[in-house]
């Protein structure tokens, strides 16, 4: 997680991942583990013949429709207003004719453009939308606690809340299928050290808040319990990354969205949320030495959507202009009611590992160990 500046710098010969991923390894040809593994997965899942993909996809759609026959909805999707989830909504309605329930999480950070894009998608596609609105005072307190704790995954709170909302709503409407916008084409690479992978680990959140929070009573932010953590997603919800079965090209997706849904482009990935933008453009690079564009661009290289030279040129561009930085910093501080002094302290504090706090993930590991010991498995 922490960039070790004493380590010899190296960048991959195939993708643009480098030693800012602390777990990166290189083979004799100078290719890294990230793209080597991603290419294997992409060859297995994406670069297969169109006819095989078609058969797989039509079987999935048939199963989803069969399951939803006597129900109000066939499937549930998360809708952030970003390219992937917007295109997902467009495809499942227009191409597959599925009855969709879209779920959106309003954590208080949506840009105006994201709000108008979601509105356009919902009205053009005529789908139902459930918006889960978080209590701002609580969410703000949780975010500040994470900032003060100096843990890396500031998006864990939002991801946890989305996970809980999808779980709860799919239960309420008895929806089995959750179609996700996750795709190998543009997201096959993300080093595990660049985030905390156990997003549903509410014990981790609670302990971080206990240690670094303002002590308010969190009443409405919903935490998943340990039993649900263990069984999360298992049997109850079937997650399908449907874009993997399509010839998904981001550039084409943008054209379709703009033409068909009145959707407008954000310019950069994840600019639909001002928090995400500030986190990825400023906090991650400045405090953790991480530029997430490297993973995103490397994924696109692996799926042959851009060349390595194009990716390198892209990385040369600054993440923000001075004006943008000050504008976004002011917004960020005002929204969280932090001072410049608070901000400087947060940025100067050394990163702390999520594993330093209590976690269900550790407990799950211990239970697994005990189980294997007792039953000698």
Per CB under 5 A, the list member of 1, 32, 61, 352 interacting with Zn ion is: 32
Q: Report the distance separating Cα 332 and Cα 312, nearest Å.
A: 29
Task: Give 130's strand partners.
Answer: 103
89 contributes a contact to Zn ion by CB under 5 A: no
Stretch that binds Zn ion, among 4-12, 41-49, 90-98, 214-222 (CB under 5 A): 4-12
* Closest residue by Cα to residue 216 from 135, 137, 308, 292: 137
Q: Report the distance separating Cα 224 and Cα 25, nearest Å.
A: 35
100 contributes a contact to Zn ion by CB under 5 A: no
Nearest approach in angstroms of CB 35 to Zn ion is 3
The residue (of 17 and 208) whose beta carbon lies closer to Zn ion is: 17
Binding mask 33-72 for Zn ion (x = CB under 5 A): --x-------------------------------------
Task: Give 178's strand partners.
Answer: 76, 239
Contact at 8 Å (CB) between 265 and 250?
no
- Backbone φ and ψ of 26, nearest 5°: -125, 145
The residue (of 27 and 220) whose beta carbon lies closer to Zn ion is: 27
Residue pointed to by tokens 């390198």:
312
- Tokens read off for 88: 């997902």
Binding mask 108-127 for Zn ion (x = CB under 5 A): --------------------
Query: Residue 48 contacts by C-beta under 8 Å, 6 or more apart in sequence?
Result: none
Alpha-carbon torsion, ordered 304, 306, 308, 309, to 10 deg: 150
The residue (of 18 and 272) whose beta carbon lies closer to Zn ion is: 18
Per CB under 5 A, the list member of 1, 11, 15, 257 interacting with Zn ion is: 15
Stretch that binds Zn ion, among 16-24, 118-126, 240-248, 265-273 (CB under 5 A): 16-24
30: alpha, beta or left, given left = phi > 0 and alpha = psi -120 to 50?
left
The residue (of 35 and 76) whose beta carbon lies closer to Zn ion is: 35
Element (H, E) at 196: none
The count of chain residues that interact with Zn ion, using the rule CB under 5 A, is 6
Binding mask 210-239 for Zn ion (x = CB under 5 A): ------------------------------
The residue (of 86 and 298) whose beta carbon lies closer to Zn ion is: 298
Per CB under 5 A, the list member of 11, 12, 151, 283 interacting with Zn ion is: 12
DSSP H helix total and E strand total for the chain: 17, 5
Q: Given the rule CB under 5 A, which residues bind Zn ion?
A: 12, 14-15, 17, 32, 35
């Amino acid at each position: 997680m922490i960039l070790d500046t004493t380590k010899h710098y190296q960048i991959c010969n195939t993708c643009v991942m480098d030693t800012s991923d602390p777990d990166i390894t290189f083979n004799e040809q100078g290719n890294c583990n990230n793209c080597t593994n991603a290419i294997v997965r992409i060859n297995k899942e994406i670069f297969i013949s169109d006819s095989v993909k078609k058969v797989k996809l039509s079987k999935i759609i048939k199963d989803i429709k069969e399951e939803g026959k006597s129900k109000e909805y066939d499937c549930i999707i998360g809708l952030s207003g970003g390219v992937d989830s917007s295109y997902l909504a467009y495809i499942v309605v227009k191409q597959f004719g599925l009855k969709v329930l879209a779920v959106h999480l309003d954590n208080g950070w949506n840009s105006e453009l994201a709000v108008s894009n979601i509105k356009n998608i919902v009205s053009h596609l005529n789908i139902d939308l459930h918006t889960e609105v978080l209590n701002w005072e609580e969410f703000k307190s949780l975010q500040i606690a994470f900032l003060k704790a100096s843990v890396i995954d500031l998006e864990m709170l939002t991801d946890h809340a989305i996970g809980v909302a999808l779980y709860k709503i799919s239960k309420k409407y008895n929806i089995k299928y959750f179609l996700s916008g996750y795709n190998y084409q543009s997201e096959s690479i993300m080093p595990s050290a660049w985030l905390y992978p156990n997003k549903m680990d509410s014990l981790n959140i609670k302990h971080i808040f206990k240690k670094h929070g303002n002590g308010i009573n969190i009443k409405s932010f919903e935490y998943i319990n340990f039993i649900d953590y263990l069984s999360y997603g298992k049997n109850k919800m079937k997650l399908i990354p449907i874009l993997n079965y399509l010839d998904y090209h981001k550039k084409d997706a943008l054209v379709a969205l703009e033409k068909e849904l009145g959707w407008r482009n954000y310019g950069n990935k994840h600019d639909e949320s001002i928090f995400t933008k500030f986190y990825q453009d400023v906090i991650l690079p400045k405090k953790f030495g991480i530029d997430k564009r490297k993973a995103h661009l490397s994924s696109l290289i692996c799926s042959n959507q851009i060349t390595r030279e194009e990716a390198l040129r892209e990385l040369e561009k600054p993440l923000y202009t001075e004006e943008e930085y000050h504008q976004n910093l002011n917004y960020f501080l005002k929204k969280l009611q932090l001072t410049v002094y608070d901000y400087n302290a947060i940025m100067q504090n050394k990163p702390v590992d999520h594993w330093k706090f209590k976690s269900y993930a550790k407990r799950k590991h211990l239970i697994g160990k005990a189980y294997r010991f007792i039953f000698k498995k």
